């Protein structure tokens, strides 16, 4: 693994709002106590750990990475669902704006919230800042604790097999590690290796 650089993307743990299948963007919700116990410390060491500034991600990050200093960034927030925050499909199904959005979620803007373009541009800014820092400071391994939408977007853009946004399963409290060589990462190419995180064994062994 000499010369390789890795970024792991972890989803926050299951929240009470997630259990209700509510739209949860910038509104926060506490982690479910039972599911919180299923999140375990990550065995592989990371030099840099960043997190969405929302509480559910910070809570999860402190469990996954108790020995790391946590850096917080708004760029890693979930898409903002505006007036639909905290509401469920059953509550929204008769809303005409919602039905239009369901038919074209990458084109229609959420009322009072973010469009997919605004969301993706925000995430891209955070990603480029992270890449620049890793290259400038010689950081080999970084991790981001974030949200399902952020992870799906980054995997659809940088995953090795070209899966679409909704094709990626993103389990709560777990994620994926993407690996490149330095020049591939600098050029913004798709990763050459993708593996489930947290790793259960030493990837260099």
DSSP, residue by residue, 57-81: HHHHHHHH-TTSPEEEEGGGPPPP-
Average pLDDT over residues 147-154: 98
Whether the pLDDT of residue 1 is over 60: the answer is no
The pLDDT value given to residue 31: 94
The pLDDT value given to residue 59: 95
Whether the pLDDT of residue 36 is over 90: the answer is no
Q: Is the pTM of this model over 0.75?
A: yes
The pLDDT value given to residue 51: 98
Average pLDDT over residues 38-57: 92
Whether the pLDDT of residue 205 is over 70: the answer is no
Whether the pLDDT of residue 167 is over 80: the answer is yes
**Digit-coded pLDDT (tens) for 3-25:** 899 999 999 999 999 999 999 99
The pLDDT value given to residue 35: 77
Separation of alpha carbons 14 and 107, rounded Å: 28
The pLDDT value given to residue 2: 54
Whether the pLDDT of residue 201 is over 70: the answer is no
The pLDDT value given to residue 104: 96
The pLDDT value given to residue 200: 52
Pinpoint the alpha helices (H) of the chain: 16-19, 33-36, 55-64, 89-92, 96-103, 116-137, 148-158, 182-187
**Digit-coded pLDDT (tens) for 75-126:** 999 999 999 999 999 999 999 999 999 999 999 999 999 999 999 999 999 9
Task: List the CATH code of the domain at 4-81+116-197.
Answer: 3.40.50.1240
Q: Where are the domains of the chain?
A: 4-81+116-197
Let me know if 96 is exposed, middle or buried by CB neighbors in 10 A (0-12, 13-18, 19+). Answer: exposed
């Amino acid at each position: 693994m000499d010369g390789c650089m890795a970024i792991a993307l972890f989803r926050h743990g299951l929240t009470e709002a997630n259990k209700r299948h509510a739209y949860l963007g910038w509104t926060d919700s506490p982690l479910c106590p039972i599911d919180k116990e299923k999140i375990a410390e990550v065995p592989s060491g990371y030099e840099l750990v960043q997190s969405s500034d929302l509480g559910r991600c910070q809570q999860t990050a402190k469990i996954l990475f108790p020995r790391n200093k946590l850096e917080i960034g708004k760029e890693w927030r979930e898409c903002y669902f505006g007036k639909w925050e905290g509401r469920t499909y059953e509550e929204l199904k008769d809303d005409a704006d919602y039905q239009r959005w369901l038919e074209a979620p990458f084109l229609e803007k959420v009322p009072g919230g973010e469009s997919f373009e605004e969301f993706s541009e925000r995430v891209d800014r955070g990603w480029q800042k992270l890449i620049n820092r890793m290259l400038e400071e010689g950081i080999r391994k970084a991790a981001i604790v974030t949200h399902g939408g952020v992870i799906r977007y980054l995997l659809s853009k940088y995953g090795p097999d070209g899966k679409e946004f909704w094709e990626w399963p993103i389990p709560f409290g777990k994620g994926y590690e993407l690996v490149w060589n330095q020049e591939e990462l600098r050029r913004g190419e798709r990763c050459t290796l993708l593996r489930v995180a947290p790793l259960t064994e030493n990837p260099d062994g």
